[in-house]
Amino acid sequence: MSNQSTTLAIATAKEMCLDAWKNQMITSVSPFYNKIKKVYTPSKDFKTAAPIGQVGGYASTGEDGALPTAGALGYIPFSGSVKNIMVPIRITDKAIEASKNAAGSLVGNLFVNEVENAFSTAKINLSRAIVAGNGTGILATVTDNEGSTTVTASNHRFLDLGMTIDVYATNGTLIGTRRIKALTRNADGTGTLVVDATIDTAAATSYITIQKSLNNEITGVDALFNSSVTSYMGLTKEDHPEIVPITVSAANDITNSKIRKIITESDNYHGGETDMILCGDDAFAAYSDFLDVMKIPMQTTELVGGFTAIKFLHGNRTIDVVCEKFITPTDMIGVNTKDFEEMYLTDWGYMEQEDSGRLERVPGYDYYETVIRKYAELVCKKPGACWKLTNCA
């Protein structure tokens, strides 16, 4: 296969893969991500405002009384910057040469396979960051491993084989970067990792992130509820209690009445209008069991992307109850998806601009790379209207 044919095969594959990537990222990441608005921002830094309370101009006056004084709706200002989401695609020179000598456009197929694998990884991590992330990128804390290749993590839910992780000391100093070669998911929720080289995790409060991601991830839904995250979109929670959501324990007994009670509180006092309930695995199972035990018919609906939701009737509206795998297993989180926006500077695209038909060789190495990237951030306009039920199972 000539170099010209190779370039054409790669260019064709890149165009085809990007279109598929964009479409599938919208529909298949998670039911929550599917429903939120995607809004273009012309700058890497953005400002937006969230409405608070009522306008001040309403009154019932006397027959010859003065008109009420107008009062503008109050707003709280949010500000932030889009985050850099990077997915490198790598093909070795040997693989390209082998494809050149084979019948057909195998180099194009080779690229497609690499993109499909990268897509699976990107989808998983984007789904995690959106619902369970808080911007820090921290996946788990780790114990002192005394300089071995075995690391014990506080939880395994966000970890997987092949993942490249950074290990940090408690003061934020990078101890080292390693790749997970083996992972045992322990019954108590912890994870036992075997990494590709020895590393000294130093202290029980050291922590791990995905490589290069410390304090660089999307500000996900967890940032609203996590007490260790002291500010949101430029505002401190202490000074702005109106942006802090409601959290209530279900006391290991989830029922329709408990769900309705917290939705009503959100509606009546926080400007909420819940349209989706995001459930951890155990909470979703517990709610399904509750419906079975109470012999309440389970009404379901199909959502975009192949997801299925349980219909929950509240007042004059129907709310989708969905399973989100990265939510804390025993939690339920109520949101109005209309209050969330993905602010993006660019949609998914290839980083190089001049020649989209090429793969660039990485200097000093025998492989070629291209990078699919997106610049975006997640914003909730009414964080105080969200709610969480803990201990649902």
**Final residue of a structural domain among 210, 240, 256:** 210
Angstrom CA distances, 341 to 10, 220, 380, stand at 34, 11, 6
Q: CB of 49 within 8 A of CB of 75?
A: yes
> What is the average per-residue pLDDT within 107-136?
90
Of 210, 243, 261, the residue that ends a domain is 210
Q: Does residue 65 fall inside a structural domain?
A: no
> pLDDT (tens digit, 9 = 90+) per residue, 272-301?
999 999 999 999 999 999 999 999 999 999
| 119 vs 20: CA distance, rounded Å | 10
Pairing of strands 276-279, 317-323: parallel
User: Looking at the domain assignment, is residue 313 inside a domain?
Assistant: yes
Check pLDDT > 70 for residue 3. Answer: no
Confidence of residue 107 (pLDDT cuts 50, 70, 90): low
pTM of the complete model: 0.90
Answer yes or no: do 233 and 382 share one domain: yes
Report the domain count for the chain: 2
The count of C-alpha atoms lying within 13 angstroms of the C-alpha of 21, restricted to the half-sphere facing its C-beta, is: 27
Task: Tell me what pLDDT residue 357 has.
Answer: 57
In a domain, 59, yes or no: no
What count of other Cβ atoms lies within 10 Å of the Cβ of residue 300?
A: 11
Q: Which residue has the higher pLDDT, 68 or 184?
A: 184
- Tell me if 72 is assigned to some domain: no
pLDDT at 68: 79
Per-residue pLDDT reduced to its tens digit, 170-226: 999 999 999 999 999 999 999 999 999 999 998 777 999 999 999 999 999 999 999
Domain with 182, as residue range(s), is: 138-210
pLDDT of residue 358: 66
Are 222 and 271 found together in one domain? yes
Same domain, 41 and 29: yes
CA 267, chain centre distance (Å): 25
What does the alpha-carbon distance between residue 343 and residue 132 come to, in Å, rounded to a whole number? Answer: 18
Do 271 and 371 sit in the same domain of this protein? yes
Task: Give percent of the chain with pLDDT exceeding 90.
Answer: 70
Question: With pLDDT > 70 as the criterion, what percentage of the chain qualifies?
Answer: 92
Question: 9: pLDDT confidence band, cut at 50, 70 and 90?
Answer: low
Residues 161 and 34 in one domain: no
The per-residue pLDDT for 101 is 59
User: Band of the pLDDT at 233, cuts 50, 70, 90?
Assistant: very high
159 and 205 share one domain: yes
Say which CATH number the domain at 344 has: 3.90.1690
Residue that has been written with the tokens 């304090």 in this structure: 215
CA–CA dist 42, 11 (Å, integer): 28
20-42, pLDDT tens digit by residue? 899 899 889 999 999 999 999 99
Q: What is the mean pLDDT of the chain?
A: 90
Which pLDDT belongs to residue 74? 75
Reply yes or no on whether the pLDDT at 95 is more than 90: no
Q: Buried (b) or exposed (e) across 199-237, using 16+ Cβ within 10 A?
A: bebbeeebbbbbeebbeebbbbbbbbbbeeeeebbebeb
Q: For 61-65, 72-76, 139-143, 353-357, which range has the lowest pLDDT when averaged over its residues?
A: 353-357
- For the record, the structure tokens of 230 come out as 């002291």
Q: How confident is the model at residue 324 (pLDDT cuts 50, 70, 90)?
A: very high
**pLDDT at residue 99 is higher than 70:** no
Q: What span, in angstroms and rounded, lies between the C-alpha atoms of 224 and 350?
A: 32
Same domain? For 101 and 240 the reply is: yes
Of 158, 180, 210, the last residue of a domain is 210
